[in-house]
Structure 1
Amino acid sequence: MSSIHDTPPEAITGRPVSRAMFFTPSRSGGGIRTVEDMQKLLKVGADKVSINTAAVKNPALIRDGALHYGTQCIVVAVDVKREGNGFIVYVRGGRDRTDIDALEWCKKAEDLGAGELLITSMDRDGTKDGYDIDLLKKVTSMVNIPVIASGGCGRLSHLYDVIESGGVSAVLAASIFHYGTFTVPQVKEYLERKSIDIRV
Structure 2
Amino acid sequence: MTVAVRVIACLDVDRGRVVKGVNFANLHDAGDPVELGRRYNDEGIDELTFLDVTASSSDRETTYEMVGQTAETVFIPLTVGGGVRTVEDVARLLKTGADKASINTAAIKNPQVINEIVERFGSQVLVLSVDARRSPHTASGFEVTTHGGRELTGIDALEWVREAQERGVGEILLNSIDADGTKSGFDLEMISAVRAVTNLPLIASGGAGAAEHFPPAIAAGADAVLAASIFHFGEASVQQVKDAIRGAGYPVR
TM-score (norm 2): 0.74
Which has a greater percent of strand? 2
Is the counterpart of residue 7 in structure 1 residue 62 in structure 2?
A: no
Aligned length: 198
The aligned counterpart of 2:243 is 189
How far does residue 17 in structure 1 lie from its aligned partner after superposition?
Answer: 4.5
Is the counterpart of residue 106 in structure 1 residue 157 in structure 2?
A: no
Is the counterpart of residue 35 in structure 1 residue 87 in structure 2?
A: yes
How far does residue 19 in structure 1 lie from its aligned partner after superposition?
Answer: 4.4
Does the 8 Å contact 1:10/1:40 carry over to 2? no
How far does residue 63 in structure 1 lie from its aligned partner after superposition?
Answer: 0.8
How much is the aligned-residue C-alpha RMSD, in angstroms? 1.6
Q: Which runs of 4+ in 1 moved over 6 A?
A: none
Aligned partner letter, 1:3: L
d(CA) in 1 for partners of 2:243, 2:85: 39
d(CA) in 2 for partners of 1:123, 1:12: 27
**Structure 2 SS opposite 1:81:** strand
How far does residue 18 in structure 1 lie from its aligned partner after superposition?
Answer: 4.5
The aligned counterpart of 2:123 is 71
d(CA) in 1 for partners of 2:179, 2:70: 33
Aligned partner letter, 2:233: Y
d(CA) in 1 for partners of 2:65, 2:207: 33
87, 90, 95: which one aligns with 2:150: 95
How far does residue 160 in structure 1 lie from its aligned partner after superposition?
Answer: 0.4
The aligned counterpart of 1:116 is 171
Does the 8 Å contact 2:71/2:78 carry over to 1? no
Distance 1:13-1:179 versus aligned 2 partners, 3 A rule: closer
The gaps in structure 2 that reach 5 residues or longer are 1-48
Distance 1:179-1:12 versus aligned 2 partners, 3 A rule: closer
20-29 or 169-178: which moved more? 20-29
- With CA pairs under 8 Å and 6+ residues apart, which has the higher RCO, 1 or 2? 2
The gaps in structure 1 that reach 5 residues or longer are none
How far does residue 10 in structure 1 lie from its aligned partner after superposition?
Answer: 4.6
How far does residue 153 in structure 1 lie from its aligned partner after superposition?
Answer: 0.9
Distance 1:49-1:130 versus aligned 2 partners, 3 A rule: same
How far does residue 54 in structure 1 lie from its aligned partner after superposition?
Answer: 0.6
The aligned counterpart of 2:99 is 47
d(CA) in 2 for partners of 1:109, 1:62: 7
TM-score (norm 1): 0.92
Seq. identity, %: 44
